Structure 1
């Protein structure tokens, strides 16, 4: 903080550095994590449901079997329905990467190859079971209907939630420290105010000017255990209130001297109020 207004009755200090670059960097760093988590939940977290039926299609006095299906992908934001006039076959799609193989069920249809789920994922055993059921249904015309479900929400929601939680926490933490601090010594009211604003709340602390004993630089240890000098408002009851003055040591001492000089004539302020 530094003095932004000074007269015989009012001394106003303000932290004019409204944006902390370190906190801004933290916010920007956290944003991709938060956005990625939201994207995973919205776009990958889907319940995929395949419903198929055997249908008899008469063609030139000959009845033929045909399998028609409906594939539904229910996500958090929207629902997608794909009508499949004819299902021919099914196969297991494999994607090979440095992290290993991932799988998805792919339907061979009259519209081309349509995946049951849009993304590849681990767990080939479970997918092979579903694959076997679909193959059995295709071959067995005595089965009237088939319902197969693949719920990707069990993977997407926890995985995306971790990114949302980490990114969101860092974003909130960074915004909390985007703060504006005011310190006002007002002789007309006989009080001084400490006010701190951030995007979430404002905190105001109020004291009587007569409570102030002095303002000086006091020695204390920082987080690394090193001794540093920090400006403090010392009250008669022993309470020490830190004030974050800007500038080098000489500038801080000059500001402290100005505040102490301002507070010397409190009796004159008392007479003005009466």
Structure 2
């Protein structure tokens, strides 16, 4: 089992790096919004700020939370607690456990995302992600460390409640983050392709709406991997034409808010409209 966990951890890192490089290349060749107007320097500064947050968060998770997740997973299995373990005892096959783990984790991510928008304390941290006016593939890694700590700590309880295996969590995160990188990228698909894909997964056209400066659009399209949670939760929304969409947050739109220090301090500052 440890060999499988190690393999999935390596795959997760490799998939994230490959996804980042490929999508950066596509963005450079065919940007949808062309935020940087061909300026490699400005795009590089943007990448550095966002990835500094992403790498900091990855280090914190590795040092302080993966061990706790493993403990929770082992404890749930040994004591046969959690929804999926109870269903397994009732005769659910092993593949059903894994499929259920992916679906239920994605449902939790949808609910957690809604909480980050609706609870003012959580929103103070989550707005670091939304304050990026130049959303691209690196925005997928731009989350405040405080939000990551809250999410990672709550995940211990989620693992126990659902009865997840750690390798199932790693499998979900590998797939989910690949889709998250994809739908944050500064790209656009042909309408027919985007329409077909968003029947199942979140697409660039769908998630760009979530990063709109207009709050009714910001408070929509919360899904991370599977798009159908927004239809079930009646939070699905589109914007046409997409080119007229304005991305970011008006209250955090200064040059300071684009620097690493500014990103870390956003939760502890009031915006200009507060």
Q: Which has the larger radius of gyration?
A: 1
TM-score, length-scaled by structure 1: 0.21
Between structures 1 and 2, the one with greater helix share: 2
Indicate the structure whose relative CO is greater, using CA pairs within 8 Å and at least 6 residues apart: 2
TM-score, length-scaled by structure 2: 0.21
